[in-house]
Structure 1
Amino acid sequence: MSKKPVGHKARKRFGQNFLHDQGVIGRIIRAISPKPTQHMVEIGPGLGALTEELLSACDGHLDAVELDRDLVPILRTQFFRYADTFAIHEADALKFDFASLKQDERPLRIVGNLPYNISTPLIFHLLSFNGLIHDMHFMLQKEVVDRLAAGPGDNHYGRLGIMAQYYCRVEPLFIVPPEAFSPAPKVDSAIVRLVPYTEPPIPAKDVRQLQNVVRTAFGQRRKTLRNNLKPLIDAERLQQLGIDPGLRPERLTLAQFVAISDALTDAAANTPPCEPN
């Protein structure tokens, strides 16, 4: 059963596609399994298709982050009876301080139907708050979910998947067809669950160094590690680490990227400071 959204025209500049298929909505809520007293956070609630179900399931607290100022009064009116537990933050999620939502010991459970144009930078932004988050459930273009879950050798494997898998367990859940939305997008969407690790399975000595290595390695995907990582590490050192410098970056495992990062961290720690003139 589907119910078409009314009262607000989707805006292309915000990448809005409003979910309206009740069967899909129910399946998403079952996957999230919100519980009373949990602290839920919804990014981009739109016309409230998921919001209604989340509020009904978790009578603890729900914060919503919405960029479209025209939607804010619609949501406040629609859910006025939850005024004590439902807070809407008119803000850009890419710049929002999610730590500001933390009020007690409860971790955040984050949910969102994310537009394609902000999905990658927003996920990187949220990973910086991973210590405050219990889990994240996102509706994304299927291509983005493929990138999040890809392993070495996969064409979708790259910076997004490597860093997401460093911080989180990534679980693709199910595909959502275009007709579940209004307006219908031109591609399939998918639901993914990200569960932050308490401790990364393969911890890097300096995660900022790891981020730099991965970013540099994928600067030009078609080039080899020898060329892409030349500003950071030479081919001989890569061979000493058991890594073929002739490989392209998508062939390396997360553990190998961490090994390169740790080698650079150790080298920097052992480099004596420059003498002042």
Structure 2
Amino acid sequence: MDNFKTKNIVEKYGFKFSKSLGQNFLIDDTVLYDIVNGAQVNQEDLVIEIGPGVGTLTRVLLDRAKKVCSIELDSRLIPILSEELKDYENFQLIHEDALKVDFNKIIGEEKSVKVVANLPYYVTTPIISNLLTGGYKFKSLTIMIQKEVAERIDANPGCKDYGALTLLVQYFCNTKILRKVSPGCFIPSPKVDSMVIRLDRTEVPKVQVEDEKLFFRVVRDAFAMRRKTLWNGLKNIGISKEKLEEAFKMANIDPKRRGETLSLEEFANLSNHIYMQSK
């Protein structure tokens, strides 16, 4: 496979890129192999690939994995993928929106499942959220996303990138940034840098919460307007002013603090005390 494989397939079929679908296809072989190596794909793995494009990354995955199931929304790519990858017996193609897929139907009885995706920027957060909160048994998600989003996912408390997405991901996963990817590695070239990041699912969430739905609501409300204090962000959480004051007091958290200063553990502690006050 040479650096022009993607270009060759695009030209062969006269494929026109869709801006609305955020299509940017990889043309750099080193990035392809860094993604597959970074995802630690082996012969025991079912790999679910979201957004295979013309199948350049898919081909590398098929050589390493037990099976690859690729999910593609664009109907124009289905015949291209079917033709280009027809010789692989371990390839399955699903023509569907990844946000509407029941991944448990794909997973079945498989024990080692990894997701690999070059995600369009406009659906990055909804797809990550869906994959993590859907209760699916993934070992890891290795995704190429906009650099700024990767930095938000991997952020620490107190920095400008730290927010609700950080806490959503870090509640379920350990994170590892694998590499930066420049715009010149794609056709057409995006206007921003990308990053490859791996999210390793932990056996159980990193913190224990009494009510997961409430925990994520506390996080969302705390970051809804970043300059607001925790008190102003959470005053409509559903308990009286007196009970909210007691929750802050029991959690030993100053209500004048802002959301970006709280660690994952502090958010869990605060949400648990709000839960207790709601009983």
Find the aligned partners of 1:240 and 1:34 in 2 and give their Cα distance. Answer: 46
Partner of 2:83: 77
The AA in structure 2 aligned to 1:266 is M
1:106 pairs with one of 107, 111, 129: 111
Partner of 1:251: 261
Residue 99 of structure 2 aligns to a residue whose secondary structure is coil
CA contact (8 A) 1:146 1:156 kept: yes
SS in structure 2 at match of 1:81? coil
What are the Cα deviations for residues 82-109 of structure 1, in whole angstroms up to 9, with x where unaligned?
2x32111111111211111122142321
Instruction: Give the distance between the partners of 1:34 and 1:176, measured in 2 at CA.
Output: 20
Aligned to 2:98: 93
Query: CA–CA distance in 2 between the matches of 1:244 and 1:35?
Result: 48
**DSSP-derived class of the 1:87 partner:** strand
- The match for 2:48 among 11, 32, 41 is 41
Is the 1:17–1:181 Cα contact (8 Å) retained in structure 2?
A: yes
Structure 1 equivalent of residue 222 of structure 2: 217
Answer yes or no: is 1:261 the counterpart of 2:271.
yes
Report SS of the residue matched to 1:259: helix
Gaps of 5+ in 1: 271-277
Deviations 1:237-273 (A, max 9, x none): 31332111111111111111111211122233x3xxx
CA distance in 2, matches of 1:235, 1:245: 8
- Look up the match of 2:72: 66
Conserved? CA contact 1:176–1:191, under 8 Å: yes
- 1:64 maps to a residue whose letter is S
CA distance in 2, matches of 1:13, 1:33: 32
- Residue matched to 1:239: 249
What fraction of aligned residue pairs are identical, expressed as a percent? Answer: 37
On the 8 A contact 1:175/1:191 being kept in 2, the answer is yes
Offset at residue 19 of structure 1 (A)? 0.4
Using structure 2 for the length normalisation, give the TM-score: 0.92
- How many residues align? The count is 267
Contact 1:130 1:196 in 2 (8 A): no
Moved more, 165-174 or 230-239: 230-239
Deviating 4+ runs (over 6 angstroms): none
The gaps in structure 2 that reach 5 residues or longer are none
CA distance in 2, matches of 1:218, 1:43: 29
The residue identity in structure 1 corresponding to 2:218 is V
TM-score for both structures, normalised by structure 1: 0.92
Q: Distance in 2 between matches of 1:260 and 1:168?
A: 21
2:126 corresponds in structure 1 to 121
Q: Greater CA deviation, 112-121 or 214-223?
A: 214-223
The residue type paired with residue 28 of structure 1 is I
